[in-house]
Amino acid sequence: MKVKLDENLPNRLVGVLRDLGHDADTVIDEALTGRDDTTVFHAAQAAGRFFMTQDLDFADIRRFAPGTHHGLLILRLRNPGARSIYERMLHVFATEPVETWPRSTIVVTDRKLRIYRASGSM
Q: Does any domain span residue 26? A: yes
For residue 43, being part of any structural domain is answered with: yes
Q: Is the pLDDT of residue 91 over 90?
A: yes
> What's the domain range around 65?
2-116
The confidence score (pLDDT) of residue 121 equals 45
**Largest Cα span, the chain:** 36
Q: Is residue 85 part of a domain?
A: yes
* pTM confidence score: 0.91
Arithmetic mean of pLDDT, 33-61: 92
Q: Which of 27-41, 58-72, 79-93, 101-115 has the lowest mean pLDDT?
A: 27-41
**What is the rounded CA–CA span in Å between residue 32 and residue 39?**
8
Flag whether 122 is in a domain. no
The answer to whether residue 55 sits within a structural domain is: yes
pLDDT tens-digit readout, 68-85: 999 999 999 999 999 999
Question: Does the residue 27 lie in any domain?
Answer: yes
| Any domain includes 121 | no
Cβ-contact 51, 71 below 8 angstroms:
yes
Give yes or no for residue 120 having a pLDDT over 60. Answer: no
Q: How many domains does the chain have?
A: 1
